[in-house]
Structure 1
Amino acid sequence: MSLDRLAPAIFVLLWSTGWVVAKYATIVSEPLTFLGVRYLVAAVLFAGLCLASGVSWPRDGRTIAHAVISGAFLHGFYLGALWWAIGQGVPAALSSIIAALQPLMTALAAPFFIGERLSRAQKAGLGLGFSGVLLAVVPKFFGHGASEIPAFAIVINMLGMAAVTYGTIYQKQYLRTGDIRAIATLQYIGALIVTVPFALALETQHIDFGFAFVALVAWSVLGISMGAILLLLHLLRRGQVSRAASLIYLVPPLAALQAAAVFGEELTVPMILGTAIVVVGVYLANRKDVAQAA
C-alpha cells in the first residue's frame, strides 16, 4: 500500500496523541516552556537529518522567509494558544471542538486564497464532520459550568485555530516546492521565534526534570513534531488543502478514545455515534472525484 493511502490514517493517529501529551505536559512543565523545548529539539534533529541526508536547502531569502512565517502560524501561534488555553483551564474536549472548526474555515477561505472549489459531496462531508465532532465530544464537557471555563482562554484557543487555518493556506500558497525536511526545520525555527518571547513573558520556565518529562519530549518530537508534521506537509503538497484540513475532524473522537483508555474517562454512546459520523464525513470530504462545485 502506498504512502499516499497510509499517510492520512497514520497522521491522524499520531496527531491525536497530542491531546494526551498536552494534558500530561502541564503536570511536569509550564505549557509554553515545554513547547519551546520541543521546538528546539525538533529543529536540531531536523537540521541533523537534513545534513545527514544531503538535503538541498532553500537558497533564496523569500522561500526561507515563507517557511519561517508558515511555521510561526502552524506551530507557534496554534499550539502555543491551544496549550496555554488548556493550562488556563479550558477542557481538552472543548479545545478540540474549537480546533475542529478549522477545516470549515479552511474550506471557506481556500477559494479566495488559492482558488479551490468544493463539490457538493465535499461540502456535505465537512458539515457531517463538524456535526459528528459535536456529538462525540460535547458530553465530555457539558457538565462544566460556564463560570468554570475562563472566557479569555477560550478566545485565545479560537485565535489559535484561526492561526493554523491561515498557516495551512499559507503553506499551500507559498511553499509548493523544496525538500519538506528543510522546510520543516525552518518552520520550527519560526515556531521558536514566536514561542520563546511569550514563554519568557508569561511563565517562570519551571520544569520538573525526570523520566516523565524526557518521555513526553521524546514522543512530542519524534512522534508528533517529526512524524506527524512530515506526513502533514506531504499531504498538503500532494492533495487539496481543504482535504488535508478535513482530517482534523478525526482527532477529537480519537482523543476521546485515548482519554478513556489512559485517564479512565467515560466513553458514551454519543461519542461512539459521533465517531462513526465523523468517519463518513471525512470520507466524503476526501473523495477524489472532480464533481462540479455547487
Structure 2
Amino acid sequence: MISRDPKREINRVIPAVDSQDGAGVRLKRSIGRNPSARLDPFLMLDAFSTDNPDDYMAGFPPHPHRGFETVTYMLNGHMIHKDHLGNEGELRSGGVQWMTAGKGVVHEERPVAIEGLMRGFQLWINLPAKDKMKPAAYQNIEPEDIPHIELMGGAALKLIAGSLTLGDITYQGPICVEETQPLYVDLQLQPGTTVELPIPPSHNAFIYLFEGKATVEGQPLLIDAANRLSSGSTVSITAPENDVDNAITRLLLLGGKPIGEPVAQYGPFVMNTMEEVEQAIADYRADRLVD
C-alpha cells in the first residue's frame, strides 16, 4: 500500500567537482566536497570514470580509516584489495566491496583496467558513536549475488543494499545495516519510462545521475551531481520520451536513516569530537590503530 505522504522532489543540488585521491586517482566528488555538502548518514560520494590509465593506475596505496564504512561499486574494471586483516580479493565489474573500518583498518586498492575503462563509485557511510570502535570487517559481494529486478517498460534495477517492496514482492539486497538502514539502488530506464520507488519516510535520500537524462516530478536531474530529495515515502523518476543523444538513463538512488550526531573529520578519520580524531591520529602514528 502506497503512503499518502507527498512524493519526494529535488530540494538541493550538489554538483560534483573534479578532485584527486590516493596516489593521484582522478575522480568527481559530490557529497562530501566540503563539510556543508554531507547528507547524514552519508559522508562522501566519489565517482570515477576514465579510459586513460594515467588517471587511475597509481591507485590507493596503504592508508588508514576509522569510524565509518566504505562502499566501492565497480561498473567497469577490476580493483585489487588488501587490508591488515589479511583480506585480499579482486572486486570485479558489477561487484561491491563493503568495508566497515570501525576502530581501525589499513588497506590498499589497486585498479586494474578492463578494456581500458575504469568506472565506479565509492560511498562513505557514517557509523554511530556506539559503533565507531567496533572491530573492522570486510565483505566482497560478487555481481551474481546482487538482485537484478526487471520492471515494466524495460526498466531494471540492481538492489545493492536495503529492501524494496514492489507490488506484492519484497526484495532484499545482500547488505543490511541495522543502524543506518542504507538503500542503494542502481536504476536503468529506457526512453519514455517512469518508475516509482518507495523510500522509507525516515530516510535522507539523493539521486546521482551518471548516464542520460531524467526528471523527478518534472524537475530535471543534474548529471554528475547529488540531487537531494525532499521528505516523502516515494520518488517518481522519468526518462525523456525521445532522447536520441542518450537512449539509456542510469542513476544511483541512495537513502539512509540519519544518525543525528556531531561529525568531526580529518581525512580518513571520522569521529564525534576532534579529541577522538586526535586520538585516532596518535593511534595510527604509534601503530595502535588496528590493535
TM-score range, shorter chain: under 0.3
Larger RCO (CA within 8 A; separation ≥ 6): 1
| Structure with more of its chain in helix, by fraction | 1
| TM-score, normalisation: structure 2 | 0.24
